[in-house]
Amino acid sequence: MSANSPAPSVRPLIAGNWKMHGLRAQLAEAQTVRDALTAGEISHGVDVMICPPATLIALMAEMAKGSRLAVGAQDCHWLPQGAHTGDISAEMLHDAGATAVIVGHSERRADHGELDRIVKAKAEAALRAGLTAIVCIGETAGQRRAGLTLDIIARQLVGSLPEAGTAADTIVAYEPVWAIGTGLTPTPAEVAEVHAFIRRALIDQYGTQGREMRILYGGSVKPSNAAELLAVPNVNGALVGGASLKAQDLLAIARACKVDAA
């Protein structure tokens, strides 16, 4: 099986990252997504998740209970507890109702100086707490111009992924930093090259599990470009930023996800 032919059991995931957006009133958007999923408007072969700010996790998890809408978190500390004012452990997120957590997002790496080893520790903490780790990787504009994209991706994969990850608890999200929130996106060919590289690296590290791990694309994903991006080989869904704040936009992206293209 080649890197361009991942196992057919890979289920697409559309995950919305609300970042530092959302008060209680924003839960109405999540309710709309939940109701659309319940009504069968999105294929049962596609998973949908929203990662709200920590203040809304418990409320959203309660609202989504018993539905197809999964609730994730945006970051965690690598320790289960301790004197770390302002931090939240993976165990706390699980207790609040989250089922997954994003780690290593470029905004965390840039704004908070998170190194690969920190991202790896957080990913392993997620697995320890029973959460799925969504591990983000991606190159800057300067790194791409210098032809270093695959070198950066390789380094981040080796340094950031959990040792004992499986297809059930580890997801990779490729987000070229220069495409996040800019409206710019790489071409389908550029996405295909990176995702095929990631697939080969996952197979090398995890064997059969690496064939079945989900690889999401993120970076200015929106309804107008979702179908083209989601049709790229080894793109098993999307990590959606700004477009996930509106239920109809997130649902439109989920509808563009063809299950047989996973």
Query: Distance (Å, rounded) from C-alpha 89 to C-alpha 129?
Result: 9
Catalytic residue among 105, 114, 124, 139: 105
The answer to whether 67 touches 34, Cβ cutoff 8 Å, is yes
The answer to whether 124 touches 163, Cβ cutoff 8 Å, is yes
Which of 22, 14, 13 shows the shortest CA–CA distance to 245? Answer: 22
Query: Distance (Å, rounded) from C-alpha 181 to C-alpha 175?
Result: 11
- The one-letter code for the residue type at 149 is T
State yes or no: is 175 an active-site residue. Answer: yes
Encoded tokens for 125:
């903490």
Instruction: Using alpha carbons only, give the angle 21, 84, 50 rounded to the nearest 5 degrees.
Output: 30
Catalytic residue among 107, 114, 139, 175: 175
State yes or no: is 105 an active-site residue. Answer: yes
Q: Which positions are annotated as active-site residues?
A: 105, 175
